[in-house]
Structure 1
Amino acid sequence: MLVGAAVSGAVALVVGLAASCGPGGGEPDARPSSSAPAPVPAQTAAPVLPSGYSPTEPVLDDSFADPAAIKVGDTYFAYGTNGGDAMMPVATAPAPAGPWTRSPGDGLAALPAWAESGWTWAPEVVAPRREGDPYLLYFTARRRGADVQCIGIATAKSPAGPFLPRDGEPLICPEDLGGAIDAASFVEDDGTRFLLYKSDARATAAIYLVQLTSDGLELAAPPSRILGRGGDEPVLVEAPDLVKRGGKYVLFYSAGWYFKSNYQTRYAVASSIWGPYEKGAAPIQSTDLYGEKVEGPGSADVLSDGTRDYLLFHGITEYHGGSRVTRPMYVAPLGWDGTRPVVRGVPVRHEAEAGALNGCVSALPRPNASGGKAAGPFARGDCRVDVRVFAPVAGEYEVRVQYANRSGADSDLQLTVNGTAGATVKLGATEGADWTSVTAKVRLGGGWNTLGLGRLAGAGRPAGKGQIDYIEVR
């Protein structure tokens, strides 16, 4: 234990210096993880991303599961589930998307007497709201002599640690519900503190909310169950994270087993922090949504840089048998369509027949189309469809146009973005009942955009026709 504290102290010194040496110096700017960024209007500049960054590639190659992060000064600190030789690995970066560097040593110096080593999960660090207050760490650990996990507290003077656990009993340990895991902090604008967590027994797994004392160290009231598993969700719900956007409370959570590919991220919205929470119609992250580029995405945490939001989460890169998997950390820019979260890197499909059709183009019943209909045919030069699409942040996107063209000749369409010509899309001739696709790259503004597809006709242009099933933005 003393060795661990010494190593963590060295980490704290090195990283603490990095945090304090940014422009301006002085007291670090510590912000609660639930604080909202300034509103970002549509068509704003794209976020600055490091070279080689991709929202579907890990920002840390090694396992860094259940990530959560805070900003202190000009440095971002991320914390993960135990792995390797660290009960709580720590990583730092100059920006949310990285580059991230894993710190040496262990951010958690020791475990309390009630906890068994090797089972330290899902850390949540909360920055102090007042000068002189400590950084708070809520962590999950297995209780000695009992097959349950509980939530404990540790404190530190630096965001890098070493975090020292509080003596005595766990903060939360409902043994009648199989224990508790996955603590997540939320701080209201008036400073009122709350903690979310998951009850751990599979049969009764649910998300709970409890108010804390002003120092965040004790429960101030009995907990309340605010969200349970729905019939369309796999196995159980867990890993809550709560933010306030658009005047509403938006609760992110995971569904399924973390070690299986159907693990996914979902969300629910409420007008009151206590609910009732209305769930979104579908996952916002899943293996299928990513086209298997990210497997089992979940345990999401919202991080703000003061201007826009990012989503930290883990995905599965290796299976080692049973529940043993490698889960590195990913980061993706996060946009908001009102209270609906939209994650960069997750393709979003828009049915063409739901767009604005100019009369020359109409909605055609097509049983083998994704929505049962398609838009077409593009038979003349005045044929056009306009489809509104949402981009979480400004940047370059790939537009995939699903189409069929059984006219026997190619057809050229002009793709426009917000009224400006973007690219020419060729609908090659197709046969039979199958649909195919063509892609183009365009720049979209953050927020709502209008993609137009219009027939290019005239001398030298191919005379074919075509039908559009959907447009997918990725």
Structure 2
Amino acid sequence: MNRWAGDPRSRGPLTPLAAGAALSAVIALIVALADACVPGSGGSAAKPPPRPSARVSARASAPGSPAPQPSPAGTSGPVSPPGYSPVEPVLDQYFADPAVIKAAGTYFAYGTNNADAAMPVATAPSPTGPWTRAPGDGLARLPAWATTGRTWAPEVVPPQGPSKTYVLYFSARRKDGDAQCIGAATATSPAGPFVPLDGEPLVCPMDLGGAIDPASYIEPDGTRYLLYKSDARKTAAIYLVRLTPDGLGLYGEPKRILARGSEPALVEAPDLVKRGGEYVLLYSAGWYFRPDYQTRYAVAPSIEGPYEKAGRPLQSTGGYGGKVEGPGSADVLSDDTGDHLVFHGILKHLGGANVNRGMYVTPLGWDGARPVIRGTAVRHEAEDGRLNGCVSVLARPNASGGKAAGPFDRDGCRLEVPVFAPAAGRYSVRAQYANRSGQESDLELSVNGTAATRLRLRVTKDADWTSTSAEVELAAGWNTLGLRRVNGQGQLDYLELL
């Protein structure tokens, strides 16, 4: 996550701009007025959206079993601005390691240091934008123990309970060496300027090479935790430590909760949420400047683990079909519109480890404790769907998973495939198929029992597989895609939802 790419600020002192302070004063007034206008708010943070209460299997149901019940996937969000796409940056300038909160109806994003600010800030009227860089610097100054150039991966926590204080956690380089540590700062406005705490760093395990990538987690009862990455290259891991009630001090001993396994290079950039009754730990793996940088996740019944890693990345360059390169440093934004995943991707390679990374936002849904996002292709094997009499599982060595479903050679042949949509909207369904009958065939594609369109299966040769696509409207949560023979015959390998 938070890797610096040649910050010119390292050549001079930090100087907060007057414009930033003026903006903070205006925003503070807006926040205060908004709190005063909410009946019974007492100035406290907005109530989070409801959480799923049960975990639903990610796989399709067995043949003949009832369709899975819909899983909550958030409510309908605000209308996206013209031109928004989950595979296009909402900030196409340097804005790495983004974290986003909502205050008084405005969204605030915070990023790793750039040429203009130790902590750049951007604002928007909705999660998907349009986003605008705010003037000035969100961080008033660095603490006495830190020096410029590596102020990475900020995390801002809105006021909790009766408090009016915003808390910032950030990584910074120590003056007395090359290691980085985690500091804390406070402000009365989400725009800052945040003033760092004096004294020693909040977290600084020098025996582990220092610490970076702070992330906050707060239990429903108010218990606070901080997650971070130990920074020594060979032993990099993700740690969890309990904080004092104000979030500004350590309350217990750190516990290592996740280490590298089969992931590329290392694990970093944690973000913790609770969904489907379980703790879901999102994290990045790999080197931030390489295309194989990716977002993964692990699930646990307890906050301290053990965490079971998912088999596949949630985000990867391949998963996006190359449209987003090196997606990572993911942060979950939750509000009354549902959940969004905020992350960065590589916009441009500048040589060596230097890359320009922009900010992306995508709708995020939950199948129990399994995160599902828009923009990446999700594959559903046809043979895992519900098959009726004349559609059966066929052994096909050249197919995905070595199996397919078919042959759809008689009237009444039908296949149903449950699919999960993270948000309501229009999706593309890509069907991988083979048709060796010598003539073109047609399948009716239905959504939740209503005919939507037809898929034309053109003739294929020998062991060839090819694909065709159609657009459908899906509801948030579980949907059923039905495929019924109209004429001819064919075999289906899989459906991909994008």
The bucket for the TM-score relative to the shorter chain is: over 0.9
Give deviations 1:281-327, integer Å, cap 9, x for gaps. 11111111111111111100001122411100001110001111111
Q: How do residues 25-104 of structure 1 correspond to structure 2 at under 5 angstroms? A: 25=37, 31=45, 35-37=48-50, 46-48=76-78, 49-104=80-135
Supply the distance in 2 between the matched residues of 1:175 and 1:38 (Cα, whole angstroms). Answer: 38
Give the corresponding residue for 1:152.
Answer: 183
Residue in structure 1 matching 2:430, options 380, 400, 404: 400
What displacement does 1:446 show?
0.9
What displacement does 1:454 show?
0.8
Give the corresponding residue for 2:418.
Answer: 388
What displacement does 1:38 show?
5.4
Give the corresponding residue for 1:460.
Answer: none
Supply the distance in 2 between the matched residues of 1:379 and 1:132 (Cα, whole angstroms). Answer: 67
Supply the distance in 2 between the matched residues of 1:73 and 1:413 (Cα, whole angstroms). Answer: 50
The alpha-carbon distance between structure 1 residues 22 and 427, as it changes in their structure 2 partners (threshold 3 A), is: farther
Supply the distance in 2 between the matched residues of 1:406 and 1:206 (Cα, whole angstroms). Answer: 51
What displacement does 1:244 show?
1.1
The alpha-carbon distance between structure 1 residues 348 and 28, as it changes in their structure 2 partners (threshold 3 A), is: farther
Deviates more, 1:69-78 or 1:312-321: 69-78
Give the corresponding residue for 1:472.
Answer: 496
Q: How do residues 37-436 of structure 1 correspond to structure 2 at under 5 angstroms? A: 37=50, 46-48=76-78, 49-230=80-261, 232-436=262-466
Supply the distance in 2 between the matched residues of 1:24 and 1:211 (Cα, whole angstroms). Answer: 32
Q: Is the 8 A contact 1:418 1:449 kept in 2?
A: yes
- Gaps (5+ residues) in structure 2? 1-12, 53-69
Supply the distance in 2 between the matched residues of 1:57 and 1:174 (Cα, whole angstroms). Answer: 38
Q: Is the 8 A contact 2:51 2:276 kept in 1?
A: no
The SS at the match of 2:102 is: strand
TM-score when scaled to structure 1? 0.94
Percentage identity across paired residues of the two chains: 64
What displacement does 1:6 show?
2.9
Give the corresponding residue for 1:13.
Answer: 25
Q: Is the 8 A contact 2:444 2:483 kept in 1?
A: yes
The alpha-carbon distance between structure 1 residues 28 and 405, as it changes in their structure 2 partners (threshold 3 A), is: farther
Q: Is the 8 A contact 2:72 2:366 kept in 1?
A: no
What displacement does 1:2 show?
8.5
* Cα root mean square deviation, aligned: 2.0
The SS at the match of 2:25 is: helix
- Gaps (5+ residues) in structure 1? 458-463
Query: How many residue pairs are counted as aligned between the two chains?
Result: 466
Q: Is the 8 A contact 2:121 2:191 kept in 1?
A: yes
Give deviations 1:115-137, integer Å, cap 9, x for gaps. 11011000001111134542111
Q: How do residues 434-473 of structure 1 correspond to structure 2 at under 5 angstroms? A: 434-457=464-487, 464-473=488-497
Supply the distance in 1 between the matched residues of 2:399 and 2:149 (Cα, whole angstroms). Answer: 51
Give deviations 1:93-120, integer Å, cap 9, x for gaps. 1222222111111101111111110110
Supply the distance in 2 between the matched residues of 1:125 and 1:301 (Cα, whole angstroms). Answer: 11
Q: Is the 8 A contact 1:395 1:445 kept in 2?
A: yes
Supply the distance in 1 between the matched residues of 2:42 and 2:134 (Cα, whole angstroms). Answer: 19
What displacement does 1:248 show?
1.2
What displacement does 1:145 show?
2.3
TM-score when scaled to structure 2? 0.90
The SS at the match of 2:444 is: strand
Supply the distance in 2 between the matched residues of 1:322 and 1:330 (Cα, whole angstroms). Answer: 23
